[in-house]
């Protein structure tokens, strides 16, 4: 059995799209691993992320002993994938890592295309990814077959929620040749500082990407329903993404231009300050950072009962509503706004839960312990 290195580990994180919660997870993990004395590098797509991704990578680059490499990685299967995968493998070989950690379906596939290595272990965290596609769709059927083919090319599966682990095992299979562990996402100490409500705060706020799976369109419909029922609710939407134009059209269709405002992509805590109540309307999620960040800051919140969100809320699941239901969401929003004291009390106790179970320190320690366990098992 190979010895576990007593020197600093050489760790390469690979991801397709350097955006959203998955990218934030990698940056927090990389910074924590660097603080623990390890040598870290990042491989990421060059087609997405724009200036924000470039700025974030430039900020962390001086700390990355293994550097930053960017490749043109397409989201869907693409003819260029074979060439990109070959380039990817060359970079991995050149960096001589002990651990190659693939985040998301595409990067996870690339790191596991090659055969077993005597030098490094292959670690895979789906972050939802291909697990979000129903098996009844062609994408779901294709991705599930690919995941199944690559399952035994993996030394360690690291899931950020029990939901993601259970979904993988139900739809793909149970890995027998790999270590399987769950390590919750975590937030830094400064994120437990309270957020002051902005003077121009609306009744509710949404903070996140504008993608179908995130459900911002459902939230707009819920606001329209509440206003039709005589509750003059106002909404701030903080974010951007592929559905921005359609969401603006939806607001106009419902005649909500005076009630709903878009403020673009902003820091999460700034977005939290723009609403008295945060709403997380996701159709699907694994372990969304926005929920953990808001809970850490003590933000009153209601959220869809999907994915790993119930694991974050724990005993406070009275704040969760049925997913894909505009009526259930509208009812939850109305109840929270009508009884702000109960919402504030729940936010306070949820903050204490986050402090105990969802810290960056616990996340980094759990991931490193899992790496070493997988190295020892190999």
Low-confidence ranges of the chain (pLDDT < 70): 1-6, 129-133
3-state class (DSSP) for residue 261: strand
Residues 6 or more apart in contact with residue 267 via CB below 8 angstroms: none
Tokens linked to 171: 């739809």
Give kind and range of the element (H or E) at residue 327. helix 326-338
Ordered by start, the domain boundaries in the chain are 10-186+359-377, 190-357
Number of neighbours of residue 61 by Cβ within 10 angstroms: 12
For 141-156, write each residue's pLDDT tens digit.
888 888 999 999 999 9
The CATH label, of 3.40.50.2000, 3.40.50.720, 3.20.20.140, 3.90.1150.10, for the domain at 190-357 is: 3.40.50.2000
pLDDT at 377: 87
Integer Cα distance of 322 and 331 in angstroms = 10
CB 204 within 8 A of CB 233: yes
Question: How much is the pLDDT for 6?
Answer: 67
Main-chain phi, psi angles of 6, to 5 degrees = -95, -5
Alpha helices, DSSP H, located in 114-159: 138-150
In this structure, whether the domain defined by 10-186+359-377 belongs to CATH 3.30.365.10 is answered with no
Q: Tokens 């951007």 correspond to what residue? A: 240
- pTM for the predicted model, two decimal places: 0.84
Closest CA to 13 of 218, 133, 158: 158
Residue 329 has what pLDDT?
98
Sheet holding 99-103, edge to edge: 68-71, 39-45, 10-15, 99-103, 121-125, 156-159, 179-182
Q: Matching CATH topology for 10-186+359-377 and 190-357?
A: yes
CA–CA gap between residue 107 and residue 99 (Å, rounded) = 14
**H or E, element range at 95:** helix 81-95
Q: Looking at residue 355, what is its pLDDT? A: 92
């Amino acid at each position: 059995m190979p010895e576990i290195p007593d020197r600093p580990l050489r760790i390469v994180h690979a991801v397709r799209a350097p955006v959203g919660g998955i990218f934030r997870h990698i940056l927090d993990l990389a910074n924590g691993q660097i603080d623990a004395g390890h040598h870290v590098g990042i491989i990421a797509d060059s087609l997405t992320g724009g200036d924000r991704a470039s700025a974030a990578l430039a900020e962390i680059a001086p700390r990355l002993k293994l550097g930053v490499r960017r490749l043109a990685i397409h989201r869907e299967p693409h003819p260029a994938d074979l060439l990109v995968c070959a380039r990817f493998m060359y970079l991995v070989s050149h960096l001589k890592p002990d651990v190659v950690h693939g985040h998301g379906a595409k990067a996870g596939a690339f790191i596991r295309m090659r055969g077993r290595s005597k030098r490094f272990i292959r670690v895979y965290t789906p972050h939802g990814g291909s697990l979000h596609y129903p098996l009844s769709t062609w994408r779901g059927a294709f991705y599930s077959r690919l995941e199944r083919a690559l399952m035994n090319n993996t030394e360690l599966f690291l899931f950020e929620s029990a939901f993601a682990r259970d979904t993988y095992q139900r739809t793909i299979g149970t890995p027998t040749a790999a270590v399987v562990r769950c390590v919750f996402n975590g937030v830094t100490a400064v994120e437990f500082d309270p957020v002051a409500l902005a003077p121009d705060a609306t009744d509710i706020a949404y903070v996140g990407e504008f993608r179908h799976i995130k459900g911002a369109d459902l939230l707009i419909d819920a606001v329209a329903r509440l206003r039709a029922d005589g509750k003059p609710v106002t909404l701030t939407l903080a974010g951007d993404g592929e559905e921005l134009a359609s969401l603006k059209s939806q607001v106009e269709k419902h005649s909500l231009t005076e009630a709903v405002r878009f403020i673009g992509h902003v820091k999460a805590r700034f977005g939290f300050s723009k609403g008295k109540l945060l709403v997380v309307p996701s159709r699907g999620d694994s372990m969304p950072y926005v929920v953990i960040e808001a809970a850490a800051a003590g933000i009153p919140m209601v959220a869809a009962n999907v994915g790993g969100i119930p694991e974050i809320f724990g005993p406070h699941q009275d704040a969760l509503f049925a997913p894909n239901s505009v009526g259930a969401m509208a009812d939850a929003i109305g109840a929270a706004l009508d009884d702000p004291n109960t919402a504030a009390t729940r936010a306070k106790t949820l903050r204490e839960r986050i402090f105990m179970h969802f810290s960056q320190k616990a996340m980094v320690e759990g991931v490193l312990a899992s790496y070493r366990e997988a190295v020892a098992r190999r």
